[in-house]
Amino acid sequence: MPERIAILGVGRVGAALALALQHAGHQLVAVVDADQQAAARCANRCRKRGIVRTVETLPADLTLVFIATPDSRIQEAAQQLANASRISAEAVVCHLSGSLTADALSPLAGQTKRLASCHPLASFSSASAGRRAFKDIPFALQGDPSALQRLIPVIESVSGRYFFLAPEKKLLYHIACVLASNYFVGLASMVEEVLKQAGIDSLEIMAPLWRSTLDHILQQGPAQALTGPVVRNDVDTVRHHLQEIKTGFPQFVPIYKHLGRRLLAVARQQSAEADLSRMEELFSDEF
């Protein structure tokens, strides 16, 4: 029996999910958003204009609800669903947060035990993502086993990939995601600023370096992928870097040193016998 699906919150991720579910042949019967225009745009893109609803007017025969609101509003959305009594005991309710567990849906525990978290491991920077936005994107699943059993075929239809998380590991997982994505954006912003001072106006020239580095990391692991002055123990180059950074970008000094200390640890995995003591001195707070 096909799922009858509603999505609460049609921002970047929710709108992309609605389109992907519609394209995969699922019965998308309702979208809800405090921004009625956003809900209408989502419905129009799915070519189902009659699906814009409020929580209070959701169909009573829903079998699967995705809550795609910001993390800070997930429990509020669950409480609104509970107050409206629109969820049956057989329905699955799932939120898309990367950091919160299924416990964020606890206001619904009196109506259904089928509660889960389902986080797509990708970055959505635009609400205009296409119908294949989730193709090959892994989903991190956590929650009630019967809920996950129902979710898996839906996820397979839009993505094909998923893995399971223990609830006590969810926050660690999310820290890794933030480091991999958001903190990388921060580093890219630093790269852009330094490049501009070097007279280079485009980040695009770094694309081959980033791609090759990522390929090496995925193929060999971080320790074997590391190249550059730290692992070569090129003390003079790093000293010159620090002198230039102190002059032109003093705000970057702590970041350069902190990441340098991390690179030292990685370099020692490549060669435990190497004497990196002089390099270590450069990354100390005293230098």
User: Do 28 and 159 sit in the same domain of this protein?
Assistant: yes
Which two three-digit tokens encode residue 103? 């416990």
Q: Do 50 and 115 lie in a common domain?
A: yes
Joined tokens for residue 171:
């926050």
Give residue 267's domain range.
Answer: 179-282
> Where does residue 39 rank: exposed (0-12), middle (13-18), buried (19+ CB within 10 A)?
buried
Same domain, 163 and 184: no
Residues 202 and 155 in one domain: no
Say if 85 falls within a structural domain: yes
Whole-model pTM? 0.91
Sheet with 64-67, side-by-side order of all strands? 52-53, 27-32, 4-8, 64-67, 92-95, 115-120, 139-143, 162-164
Q: Is residue 174 part of a domain?
A: no
Q: Which residues contact 81 (CB under 8 A, 6 or more apart)?
A: 8, 55, 58, 65, 87, 93, 107, 108
Q: What is the pLDDT of residues 24-61, one digit of tens each?
A: 999 999 999 999 999 999 999 999 878 999 999 999 89
Check pLDDT > 70 for residue 128: no
Q: Where a domain ends, among 168, 191, 217?
A: 168
Same domain, residue pair 198 and 160: no
Q: Which of 168, 194, 227 is the last residue of a domain?
A: 168
Q: Count of domains in the chain?
A: 2
**Which CATH number goes with the domain that contains 157?**
3.40.50.720
Q: What secondary structure does DSSP assign to 222-237, as a single string?
A: HHHH--STTTTT-HHH
Q: Where are the alpha helices (DSSP H) in the chain?
A: 12-23, 36-45, 74-84, 145-158, 170-180, 182-197, 207-220, 222-225, 235-248, 253-270, 277-282
Residue 135 DSSP class = T
* Per-residue pLDDT tens digits for 163-200: 999 999 999 999 999 999 999 999 999 999 999 999 99
Q: What's the whole-number mean pLDDT along residues 204-227?
A: 96
